[in-house]
Amino acid sequence: MVKLGGFRHVAGLAFVVAASVALAACDIGEITDVTEAGWRAEADAPEGWSEVIANPTDIKVTAYVTGEVFAGGGVLIDPGVDGVPEGLGEDRWVPSLSYLVQHPSGKNVLLDSGVRAGECGYQILIVLDFPCRNKPGQDVVSQLSRDGIGTIDYLVATHFHGDHASGLGPVIERYDPVVLASSNEIEALKSPLRETQGYRYEQFAADMRVEAADNGFLEMPYIGKAADLFADGSVWLLATPGHTPGHMSVFLNASSGPILMTFDAAHLEATYRYNAPGGLGADLEVASDSISKLTALADAMPGVALVFGHEPTQWAGEAIRRDLTTIE
């Protein structure tokens, strides 16, 4: 196994398909479609984002660093784009996060689950290997337990790559949340070829209830499809495809200030700043369009805090837990 996030050779496509089907057959729980979320209805859609940010909600947002994934080689950023500083395309360890949003209704939302405890590396297209490392107790279930969190109502899966979702199985076993993802991601999740897309079989060991965010998608300025999870403008799921076909970003309308979380629509601050998405298997044209949409949205929100998918400088030092609503 190559440890550098690079390619390794395999016997051929037949082997790839056979191996992935065999892996996909391991320990898969049942995936049940549900319709439980209280999305804002189209008839109540806001005029625009200024109406949304004029009515923020007292949500609390906590970031958990669950471990680190080794990535690069053009996955995090396209180093060839004008302006991208040298060295950013090189392989390196970057943090893998999960975020807790506590809504005043008492409902708790987890944004991604980060990486699982113990061995957590994964592959994409079988040939691209992403090693992973974490400390005992760093997985999100351990951290939530330490913080006394007893319930998770929704788990928003921005996409199902291992560095965002290999911790999903333990979260489902502990909390049984409704998993919210775009219909394109759910389709990929149900495919027997899911392993080839970086979706590890352990995530599916538990039975899971899933709901398509498409059920709540409204047409909103700048971004296009956006779903208002609690129908109060507090937590928005934004369609930002390209990194994967159904990738989503998140907008949090906190009383302390708006927070726009790109997730892997922009892995790094420079990916966003220079509109330089990278990644094998990603549709880079669509990914670039998604960055443009996020930029337009951010520009329309003075004082918005931007949180990127894997920007190491946002999580420097020993901190593995941070209250995002206190960030200036």
Number of residues in contact with Zn ion under rule CB under 5 A:
2
Among the candidate windows 42-50, 55-63, 156-164, 197-205, which touches Zn ion by CB under 5 A?
A: 156-164
Least distance in angstroms from the C-beta of 37 to Zn ion: 24
How distant is the alpha carbon of residue 215 from its chain centre?
A: 19
DSSP 311-325: -GGGG-SS--EEEGG
Q: Of 174 and 243, which has the nearer Cβ to Zn ion?
A: 243
Closest CB 56 distance from Zn ion, rounded Å: 28
Residue choice 228, 232, 264, 311 for contact with Zn ion (CB under 5 A): 264
Cα 72 to its chain centre, rounded Å, is 18
Residues 275-294 that bind Zn ion (CB under 5 A): none
For Zn ion, which is the closer residue by CB, 202 or 264? Answer: 264
- Choice between 98 and 295, CB closer to Zn ion: 98
d(CA 81, CA 84): 6
* Residue 71 or 172 with smaller CB distance to Zn ion: 71
C-alpha–C-alpha distance, residues 213 and 97, integer Å? 21
Rounded to a whole number of angstroms, the minimum distance from the CB of residue 111 to Zn ion is 13
SS3 call for 6: coil
Segment interacting with Zn ion, rule: CB under 5 A, options 41-49, 168-176, 218-226, 258-266: 258-266
- Closest distance of CB 157 from Zn ion, Å: 12
* Strands (DSSP E) found in the chain: 31-33, 60-71, 92-102, 108-111, 122-124, 128-130, 132-133, 154-156, 178-181, 208-212, 217-220, 224-228, 235-239, 248-254, 257-263, 305-308, 321-323
Q: How far apart are CA 250 and CA 266, in angstroms?
A: 12
Region of 17-25, 138-146, 155-163, 274-282 interacting with Zn ion (CB under 5 A): 155-163
Q: Which residue, among 238, 172, 233, 209, has the nearest Cα to 39 in the 3D structure? A: 233
Contact 112, 158 (CB under 8 A): yes
At its nearest, how many Å lie between Zn ion and the CB of residue 97? 9
Residue among 71 and 324 whose Cβ is closer to Zn ion: 71
Does residue 163 interact with Zn ion by CB under 5 A?
A: yes
Is position 185 an interface residue for Zn ion (rule: CB under 5 A)?
no
Residues found near Zn ion in the complex (CB under 5 A): 163, 264
